[in-house]
């Protein structure tokens, strides 16, 4: 029996350990390192005992710089995921409650937004206010809410078939009461899954926008800006300036993706229920 249970528990817990290690590294490493000062005499030094990940072209310790960039990317990704989930939840609940022409209009809007290339739309929005974190958040949230709205609407349509929503209406409950006391709690699990699944997408999009030069300004450390700066440094043989932030980006995305899979499996509806 133990030989069967342990691998199952390991499969469930390792993503959370991995994700926790990423978050702790993003917080603890810059905290212990303190404020860094540019030292151009120490620029582009390879990994050594003094600088475990080497230095960048400004002489900053690359490990600390990557941790600072990871913290910024995680913060932006978390805000984007929460904003997109809240927007999708509000639109999905409204469409399912009102129904009729509004429901049909929302679904056509969802199809239209999904048909647009998210990266291109994100670049256009971010380029209008280049370097502003709010623009990056808006560019990601406004292109990723339709997936949440579709999941919420599908789940609420299945819930409505149970009949207790109609019973609440007949009892005199208002739409606001039904939405806040019945509908939103019924889809909270699916909304949580959608938010966790959105996190790796938000990390990738923020890094891509900053890498392309329409995200954060180069003086603000993020995984995207570090990768953008590494394009020039790697031509001089400083391979570590690309490998270290790229490895941090890949590990972070994998950690969030694995955690999202665990949350999705835990909240998977029974067979036959609409997801």
Give every CB contact of residue 149 below 8 A, 6+ residues apart in sequence: 87, 88, 89, 91, 92, 95, 106, 110
Look at the alpha carbons of 235, 238, 239, 244 in this order and tell me if their dihedral is positive or negative: negative
Give domain status of residue 13, yes or no: no
Kindly report, residue by residue over 249-272, the tens digit of the pLDDT: 999 988 888 887 887 777 665 444
Q: How far is residue 68's CA from residue 94's CA, in Å, rounded to a whole number?
A: 39
What average pLDDT score do residues 148-172 get? Answer: 76
Number of domains comprising the chain: 1
Angstrom distances, CA of residue 272 to CA of 67, 163, 189, 195, 268? 44, 18, 17, 24, 11
> In this structure, is residue 15 part of a structural domain?
no
DSSP one-letter string for 24-86: HHHHHHHHHH------GGGTTPPS-SSSTT-B-TTS-BHHHHHHHHHHHHHHHHHHHHHHHHH
Burial of 42 (0-12, 13-18, 19+ CB in 10 A): middle
* Residue 150 lies inside a defined structural domain of this protein: yes
pLDDT tens digits, 41-63: 888 999 999 999 999 988 999 99
- CATH number at 123 reads 1.10.3720.10
- pTM equals 0.81
Q: What is the pLDDT of residues 66-92, one digit of tens each?
A: 999 999 999 999 999 999 999 998 888
* Residue 230 lies inside a defined structural domain of this protein: yes
Cα 268 to Cα 81, 146, 177: the distances in Å are: 20, 20, 27
**Token code pair at residue 194:** 């959608």
* Tokens matching residue 186: 């019924």
Which residue has tokens 């995921």?
81
Per the CB < 8 A criterion, the answer to whether 191 and 148 are in contact is yes
| pLDDT at 87 (0 to 100) | 92
Q: Is residue 59 situated within a structural domain?
A: no
What is the average pLDDT score of the chain?
A: 83
**Is 42 within a domain?**
no
The answer to whether position 258 is within a domain reads: yes
Partners of 55 in beta bridges: 61
The H or E element containing residue 273 is none
pLDDT tens-digit readout, 186-209: 788 888 888 888 888 888 888 889
Q: Residue 118: exposed, middle, or buried by beta-carbon count in 10 A (0-12, 13-18, 19+)?
A: middle
Whether 161 is covered by a domain: the verdict is yes
Domain range enclosing 142: 64-267
């Amino acid at each position: 029996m133990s030989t069967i249970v342990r691998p199952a528990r390991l499969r469930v817990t390792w993503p959370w350990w991995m994700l926790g290690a990423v978050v702790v590294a993003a917080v603890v490493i810059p905290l212990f390192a303190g404020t860094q000062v540019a030292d151009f005499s120490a620029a582009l030094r390879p990994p050594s005992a003094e600088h475990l990940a080497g230095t960048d072209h400004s002489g900053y310790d690359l490990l600390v710089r990557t941790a600072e960039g990871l913290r910024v990317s995680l913060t932006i990704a978390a805000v984007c995921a929460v904003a997109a989930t809240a927007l999708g939840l509000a639109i999905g609940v409204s469409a399912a409650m009102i129904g009729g022409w509004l429901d049909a209009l929302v679904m056509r809007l969802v199809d239209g937004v999904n048909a647009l290339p998210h990266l291109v739309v994100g670049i256009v929005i971010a380029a209008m206010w280049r370097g502003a974190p709010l623009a990056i958040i808006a560019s990601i949230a406004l292109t990723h809410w339709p997936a949440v709205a579709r999941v919420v609407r599908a789940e609420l349509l299945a819930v409505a078939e149970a009949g207790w929503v109609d019973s609440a209406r007949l009892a005199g409950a208002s739409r606001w009461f039904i939405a806040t006391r019945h509908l939103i709690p019924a889809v909270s699990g699916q909304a949580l899954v959608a938010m966790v699944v959105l996190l790796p997408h938000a990390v990738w999009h923020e890094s891509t926008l900053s890498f392309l030069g329409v995200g954060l300004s180069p003086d603000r450390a993020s995984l995207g800006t570090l990768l953008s700066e590494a394009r020039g440094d790697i031509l001089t043989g400083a391979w570590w300036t690309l490998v270290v932030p790229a490895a941090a980006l890949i590990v972070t995305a994998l950690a969030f993706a694995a955690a999202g899979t665990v949350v999705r499996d835990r909240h998977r509806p029974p067979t036959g229920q609409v997801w």
